[in-house]
């Protein structure tokens, strides 16, 4: 008789578990889905979207590369995304009042999952991404030598880059701030840039219409 009771009790418990486990899984899945849905996302309302800015700077060693004009161009699809990439371009660049060129070779900036700071401001993780060999390459004539500095594709620690929606939610401004950038040089930059380093910086803003975070 005891064996029969144990058997029936075990069967009942098994049946209850069979019902309870799917319900628990459903509740956990629903909770995770709700959290994911609540995270801010990029909303591309049109495409392509150019963002333009002024006075962007790269720092490598003791060299400061200043670019009078910059553009970030989004060419992805319309819709909601947790990560976007933009292609940068630069004009009117100088090192120590010497004309410089910043070439974008297969590289893009990637801005990751936004985190809300205020109702209109968000912090973003940022990286330089691209296929093999992707980099931003700076060239200039410095003290009679052909200086070259490269910033390769890399993941960048921290979330110092910001995005600010405009008041009408028709667009916004990216305020890029990348620190501890890795770089390499050909050691022909008038002693300003070492052969390699991890203390590089990049900073600059670009405003656009068509992309918001919400």
Query: For the chain, which residues make up each domain, given as ranges?
Result: 1-38, 42-213
Are 201 and 181 in contact, with CB atoms under 8 Å apart? yes
pTM: 0.80
**Of 161, 166, 133, the residue nearest 45 (C-alpha):** 166
Instruction: Write out pLDDT tens, residues 147-206.
Output: 999 999 999 988 899 999 998 889 999 999 999 999 999 999 999 999 999 999 999 999
Cα-trace Rg, the chain:
25
**Of 54, 63, 49, 57, the residue nearest 111 (C-alpha):** 49
Q: Which residues pair with 128 in a beta bridge?
A: 109, 154
Q: Which residues pair with 154 in a beta bridge?
A: 128
For residue 190, the 8-state DSSP code is T
């Amino acid at each position: 008789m005891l064996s029969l009771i144990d058997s029936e009790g075990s069967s009942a418990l098994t049946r209850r578990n069979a019902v309870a486990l799917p319900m628990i899984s459903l509740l956990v899945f629903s909770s995770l889905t709700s959290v994911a849905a609540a995270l801010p996302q990029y909303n591309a309302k049109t495409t392509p979207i150019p963002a333009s800015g002024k006075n962007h700077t790269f720092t490598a060693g003791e060299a400061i590369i200043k670019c009078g004009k910059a553009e970030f161009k989004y060419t992805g699809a319309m819709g909601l995304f947790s990560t976007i990439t933009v292609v940068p371009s630069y004009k009117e660049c100088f090192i120590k009042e010497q004309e410089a060129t910043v070439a974008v070779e297969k590289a893009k900036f990637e801005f990751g999952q936004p985190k809300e700071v205020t109702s209109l401001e968000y912090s973003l993780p940022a990286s330089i991404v691209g296929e093999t060999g992707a980099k931003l390459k700076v060239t200039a004539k410095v003290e009679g030598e052909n200086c070259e500095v490269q910033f390769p594709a890399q993941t960048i620690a921290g979330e110092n880059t910001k995005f600010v929606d405009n008041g009408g939610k028709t667009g916004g401004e990216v305020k890029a701030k990348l620190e501890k950038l890795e770089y390499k040089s050909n050691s022909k930059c008038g002693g300003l840039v070492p052969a390699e380093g991890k203390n590089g910086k990049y900073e600059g803003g670009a405003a656009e219409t068509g992309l918001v975070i919400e």
